[in-house]
Every structure is written in structure tokens, then in C-alpha cells.
Amino acid sequence: MNEKSEGAKEWTEEEINRIIDLKDWQGKPIDIFDLHAVLYLGNSPGKEWDLSGNYTMFSEHTLPILLEEFQWCKTEEEVCETFREVLLRTIEQKLV
């Protein structure tokens, strides 16, 4: 994916952020090119989860996502798919 695919669009960070539309718990936009993540481990009763329980921070890192990751994308759907793939790979590399 180092070379730009024929027919791919020149995406900007603003366009990618608009397409992904990631928001925090208060509904504020999150810049996917400036992500920071923390992985907590612990047991939770039922399906409820909050940090007031007995959890341990396992790892904490920035999650670097680069504009170049999207250079082959031709459609907004491909941008979303690429984001999911890159995020998964980055989380596995940095947090696990």
C-alpha cells in the first residue's frame, strides 16, 4: 500500500475525520490522527463496566495513524474500512 492506487483520491486529514466521525462520550469530535489509548484489565460484574471497579491499567500509548494509510482509498467506504484495519493493527502493536 505504499503506492497510490490509480483512481484514488487525495484525502485530507479533515476529510478523513469527517468520514470517520469519531466522537467522545460527550459528543465532541476526536481527531483520529492524534489518538491516545489506555487498556484497563479487570473483572466486571455483568455487562456493566466503569473505572470505579477493581481494574488495572495494562498499557497506555499513542496510536499513530498516518494520512498515508489512506492514499489507496477511492471511496468513503474504503476510508472507513482502512481506518478499522489500521486501528486494529495499531492497537495490537501498541496496547497488547
- Percentages (nearest 5) of helix, strand, coil residues in the chain: 35, 20, 45
Q: Are 22 and 91 in contact (CB under 8 A)?
A: no
Q: What pLDDT sits at residue 2?
A: 45
Q: Which of the 8 DSSP states describes residue 65?
A: -
pLDDT of 84: 97
Its sign, for the CA torsion 32, 33, 38, 39, is positive
- C-alpha separations of 93 from 42, 58, 82 in Å: 21, 14, 16
Successive 10-residue mean pLDDT values, the chain, 96 residues = 66 97 95 92 70 78 95 96 96 88
pLDDT for res 49: 66
What is the predicted pLDDT for the residue at 55?
A: 78
The cell for 78 is 474504503
**Confidence (pLDDT) at 6:** 72
pLDDT at 53: 65
